[in-house]
A and B are shown apart, each in its own frame.
Chain A
Amino acid sequence: MTDRERFFVDLIREYDARLRRICRTYAPDEEGRNDLHQDILVQLWRALPAFEGESSAGTWLYRVALNTALDTLRRRSVRRRAEPREATALTGDEAPSPDERVVRDERIERLYAAIDRLEEIDRALILLHLDERSYREIADVLGMSESNVGVRLHRAKRKLADWLEEAA
Chain B
Amino acid sequence: MKLEDAMQHLRMHEEPSGDRGSEAEILALVKARAEEFDRSIRRRDKRELIAAVFVFVVFSVVLVSASWLTRVGAIIVLGGCILTYLMLRRANGQAQTTAGLPLAEMLRAERAKVDAQIRLLRRVLWWYVAPFAVGPILVFAGIAGFGMMSAVYTVFAVALGAAIYHMNQQAVRNNLVPRRGELDRLLRQVEP
Whether the Cβ atoms of B16 and A34 lie closer than 8 Å is no
Interface: A16 (CB within 8 A): yes
Chain A 67-111 interface mask (CB, 8 Å, partner B; 1/0): 110110010000000000010111110000000000010011011
Contact among A21, A38, A141, A145 for B33, CB-based, below 8 A: A38
Contact among A9, A50, A64, A90 for B27, CB-based, below 8 A: A9
Whether the Cβ atoms of B97 and A90 lie closer than 8 Å is no
> What chain A residues lie within 8 Å of B10 (beta carbons)?
107-108, 111, 130
> What chain B residues lie within 8 Å of A20 (beta carbons)?
16-18
Whether the Cβ atoms of B103 and A12 lie closer than 8 Å is no
Interface: B37 (CB within 8 A): yes
Interface: B30 (CB within 8 A): yes
Whether the Cβ atoms of A46 and B103 lie closer than 8 Å is no
Contact among A63, A89, A111, A130 for B15, CB-based, below 8 A: A89
Q: Looking at the complex, which of B1-9, B74-82, B140-148 is the stretch in contact with chain A?
A: B1-9
Known A12-B26, A88-B15, A168-B1; contact A50-B192, beta-carbon cutoff 8 A: no
Shortest CB distance B161–A (Å): 30
> What chain A residues lie within 8 Å of B15 (beta carbons)?
88-91
Known A5-B27, A30-B18, A107-B1; contact A47-B97, beta-carbon cutoff 8 A: yes
Q: How many residues of B contact A (CB 8 A)?
A: 44
Known A91-B15, A110-B1, A144-B190; contact A42-B103, beta-carbon cutoff 8 A: no
Chain A 141-168 interface mask (CB, 8 Å, partner B; 1/0): 1111101100110000100110011011
Whether the Cβ atoms of A120 and B179 lie closer than 8 Å is no
Contact among A24, A30, A45, A90 for B30, CB-based, below 8 A: A45
Interface: B98 (CB within 8 A): yes
| Chain A residue nearest to B32 in the complex (CB) | A42
What is the bound-complex CA distance between A133 and B100, given in angstroms? Answer: 18
Which of B2, B6, B110 has the most chain A CB atoms closer than 10 A to its own CB? Answer: B6
> What chain A residues lie within 8 Å of B13 (beta carbons)?
90, 92, 104, 108
What is the bound-complex CA distance between A13 and B19, given in angstroms? Answer: 14
Contact among B17, B37, B98, B101 for A30, CB-based, below 8 A: B17
Chain B 99-111 interface mask (CB, 8 Å, partner A; 1/0): 1111111110010
What is the bound-complex CA distance between A46 and B31, given in angstroms? Answer: 9
Interface: B182 (CB within 8 A): yes
Shortest CB distance B108–A (Å): 9
Shortest CB distance B26–A (Å): 7
- A–B complex contacts, Cβ < 8 Å, 29 sampled: A12-B26, A21-B14, A30-B17, A30-B18, A34-B18, A37-B19, A38-B29, A41-B30, A42-B37, A44-B99, A45-B31, A46-B38, A46-B99, A63-B100, A70-B103, A70-B186, A88-B15, A89-B17, A92-B13, A111-B9, A120-B186, A130-B10, A130-B11, A132-B11, A142-B190, A148-B192, A152-B189, A164-B2, A164-B6
Spell out A's residues near B (CB within 8 Å): 5, 8-9, 12-13, 16-17, 20-21, 23-24, 30, 33-34, 37-38, 41-47, 50-51, 60, 63-64, 66-68, 70-71, 74, 86, 88-92, 104, 107-108, 110-111, 119-122, 124, 129-130, 132, 140-145, 147-148, 151-152, 157, 160-161, 164-165, 167-168
